[in-house]
Amino acid sequence: MLKLFLIMRNYLFILLTSISILTRAADVEVTTYGAKGDGLTVNTTAIQKSIDACAASGGGKVIFPAGHFMSATVVLKSNVTLYLSDGCTLTGVKGAANYPYQQVSIPFYGENWAKQALIFAHKAENIGIEGPGTIDGQGASFEINTIKKPDRYMNRPYLIWFVACKKVSVKQVHLRNSAFWMQHYLGCEDVVIDGISIWNHSNKNNDMIDIDGCKNVRITNVNGDSDDDGLTLKSTSKLISENIVISNCVFSSHCNGLKFGTESTGGFRNVTISNIVIKPSAQLTTIYGKPAGNSGISLEMVDGGIMENISISNVVIDGPQVPLFIRLGNRARKHTDNAADPGIGVARNIHISNVTATGADITGSSVIGLENAIIENVSLSNISISSSGGAKADAMFRKLETLADHYPEATMFGPLPAYGLYVKHVKGIRLNDIRLSFTGDDERPAIALENTSDFELRGLNMASTANTNTAVYLKNVANGFVTANTVYTPAKYFIWKEGAVGNVSVSNNQHPKIKSVSNQTTKK
């Protein structure tokens, strides 16, 4: 009898467990609630009923079969994944009135005007969008209301807007033509974006991906092309974007292929980026920027916050005007109207390696802080940059405006005093194994350091011309090593020193005017 009881109890346990599993995985097809994939019917109510029913039964997938489904705003609920089958297109209907304003729990810069989305979720958990189908926002149909900021951002919905959500998954799907940013993840945790493709060239502010104050994020295998910024890390609230891995992606942007900022209220911490290709856009007409892009990598801190522990490696940059731009400024924009004015931010522990950049223009790359806000601990290694050249020798002496409170842009200072890399207001920078060249003559130095200390220039290979004053320009620097560098072409001097230059060791460099390793030709 006891044996029979135990057997029956086990069977009952298995039965109840099976029922529980079935309850938790109640997939729903949108046609069950009347959705029609005819490209004409507006299915908002049917799709929302499908989501609600799936959530109420414990969660699962809301399945879109092949077809063309029209919809306005739908709200995703916990434990629900939208699955778009092969041959399915979910299209947002035209008209801003079809996208109600949403209220969220995180105060952020933009809360007064960025309130709409085709797919919205707030404080939901275990949610996703998956499948080989397509989501199209018909972004070109939404008008810009006014040229005045910030009103011009209103009434243009995101395609995807997830706020304060946990365990988010967006995989495989094709995203097209948003009226605003393609996707905005604000204050989310445990986010996985994998294998998606993006095309966003239909309206102003057409960013590709915006990760904003999120933590524990993995972005992999993305192929994206956007008019505005590409893969963008933001911090429009007090929340820090942190613990982020980005790898194996191909980005194209008319603006910045890979960007931190401009909003940096909380900041960015513990970010690793690897195996990235940044190439010219397939869209030749532009709304913003340039067809090949404004910059490859831009790290911008101008609204307070902290940027630290950033590692970027194995990147190919083909085409953008400026391969690399690191900026610590002081625009000091408040993230909400009643917030305190932000202090000057912090930028430190930034390491970039194994980068090949071609097609850059005359501007030059840069690492620029402020006199009262020094960038700290930067290393650039195994980097090759080829630019167009075109500047004359006197550009070396050009005095740059501070522009501390300006919007940060890689081209904001114009052609820099160096064609390769200009460094100012930095403490602790190491440049190792870097190759700098140009396709047309450029008479500026390859490297210029100003108001910089604790530096190392090692293993640099630098092109120059007979009219180039110097390969390396040092102005008001201290505590540095310049060693094992090569200049095969005939700059007039190897190093030009200006202002206070103290405790700088120069040795073992190769230059046509250097007769021996103990006689490093310089100009003071």
Model pLDDT for residues 326-367, shown as the tens digit of each residue = 999 999 999 999 999 999 999 999 999 999 999 999 999 999
Percentage above 70 pLDDT, the chain: 93
**Strand locations in 227-305, DSSP E?**
231-235, 241-253, 256-264, 267-278, 295-301
* pLDDT above 90 (res 496): yes
- Flag whether pLDDT at 519 surpasses 60: no
Average pLDDT over residues 5-26: 46
pLDDT at 516 over 60: no
33-57 pLDDT, tens digit each: 999 999 999 999 999 999 999 999 9
522 — pLDDT class (breaks 50, 70, 90): low
270-299 residue pLDDT tens: 999 999 999 999 999 999 999 999 999 999
- Quickly tell me which residue has 């310089």 as its tokens: 522
In whole angstroms, what is the distance from residue 149 CA to residue 258 CA? 24
Q: Which residues of 300-332 are buried (b: 16+ CB within 10 A; e: fewer)?
A: bbbbbbbbbbbebbbbbbbbbbbbbbbbbbbbe
pLDDT score recorded for residue 385: 98
pLDDT of residue 151: 76
Tell me the pLDDT tens digit for each residue of 216-233.
Answer: 999 999 999 999 999 999
Whole-number pLDDT of residue 512: 82
The average confidence (pLDDT) of the chain is 93
Q: How far apart are CA 247 and CA 219, in angstroms?
A: 6
Residue 1: per-residue pLDDT: 46
Q: Are 353 and 405 in contact (CB under 8 A)?
A: no
Sign of the four-CA dihedral 316, 223, 348, 313? negative
% of the chain with per-residue pLDDT over 90: 90
At position 310, the amino acid (one-letter code) is: I
User: pLDDT category, 25, cuts 50, 70, 90?
Assistant: low
Q: Which residues contact 193 (CB under 8 A, 6 or more apart)?
A: 170, 171, 209, 217, 218, 219, 220, 222
The pLDDT of residue 438: 97
514 — pLDDT class (breaks 50, 70, 90)? low
Thinking of the domain 27-206, which architecture would CATH place it in? 3 Solenoid (2.160)
Rounded average pLDDT over 202-228 = 98
pLDDT of residue 63: 98
Amino acid at 118: L
**What does residue 9 show for φ and ψ, rounded to 5 degrees?**
-65, -40
What pLDDT band is residue 150 in, cutting at 50, 70 and 90?
Answer: confident
Q: Which residues contact 173 (CB under 8 A, 6 or more apart)?
A: 84, 129, 130, 131, 132, 133, 134, 135, 196
Domain boundaries defined on the chain: 27-206
Q: What is the SS3 assignment for 390? A: coil
* pLDDT > 70? residue 9: no
Write down the pTM of the prediction: 0.93
Measured between alpha carbons, how far is 220 from 201 in angstroms, rounded to an integer?
22
Q: How confident is the model at residue 10 (pLDDT cuts 50, 70, 90)?
A: low
Instruction: Compute how many other C-beta atoms are within 10 angstroms of the C-beta atom of residue 186.
Output: 26
> Which 3-state string (H, E, C) describes 266-288?
CEEEEEEEEEEEECCCCCCCCCC
